[in-house]
């Protein structure tokens, strides 16, 4: 991310305008359903983390919102949420809306009367870029490594 992207203000968007590259977005969505929490193993060891998917949407489309840890119990069906500084990630090729540690999710009194559940952005599959392989550095280097003596 370059410095211009970091300084750019978050955009106010509708759900249908989200893409796999969406970052720093503000939107208002209605919670249609909240799934059961699942435990995800922690990549760094330690306690597994809990995640639940919530189907959210507005008058343009719906998308799955990933709720992590304490966010899971904070929302329920029928509530309207204001999401600030959200972003989209791909999970097994499908779009997920996330709040993340730099974002904010709050309940709002704004009303969304009708949600367009005909358009589901999480149903489409997108190609995922493979991360380049990088060998892990062990941190140990012998004083003779890299030298050749003949």
Tens digit of each residue's pLDDT (9 = 90 or more) over 29-78: 999 999 999 998 887 888 888 999 999 999 999 999 999 988 988 999 99
Quick one: CATH architecture of 3-107? Beta Barrel (2.40)
For residue 97, report the phi and psi dihedrals to the nearest 5 degrees: -85, 135
Residue 7, H or E segment: helix 3-7
Rounded to two decimals, the pTM is 0.76
Backbone angles phi, psi at 33, to 5 degrees: -160, 155
Using one digit for the tens of pLDDT, what is the confidence trace for 88-139? 999 889 999 999 889 999 999 999 999 999 999 999 898 877 666 666 655 5
Contacts of 99 (CB under 8 A, 6+ apart): 65, 71, 83, 85, 86, 105
Q: Which residues of 62-93 are buried (b: 16+ CB within 10 A; e: fewer)?
A: bbbbbbbeebbeebeeeebbebbbbbbeeeee
């Amino acid at each position: 991310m370059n410095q211009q992207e970091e300084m750019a203000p978050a955009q106010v968007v509708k759900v249908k305008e989200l893409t796999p590259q969406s970052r720093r977005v503000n939107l208002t969505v209605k919670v249609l359903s909240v799934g059961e929490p699942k435990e995800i193993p922690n990549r760094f060891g330690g306690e597994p983390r809990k995640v639940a998917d919530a189907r959210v949407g507005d008058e343009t489309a719906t998308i799955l919102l990933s709720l992590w840890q304490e966010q899971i119990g904070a929302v329920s069906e029928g509530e309207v949420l204001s999401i600030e500084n959200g972003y989209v990630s791909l999970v097994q090729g499908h779009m997920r809306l996330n709040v993340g540690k730099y974002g904010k999710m709050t309940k709002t009194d704004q009303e969304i009367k009708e949600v367009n559940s005909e358009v589901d952005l999480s149903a489409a599959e997108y190609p995922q870029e493979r991360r380049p392989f990088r060998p892990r550095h062990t941190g140990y280097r012998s004083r003779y490594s890299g030298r050749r003596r003949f």
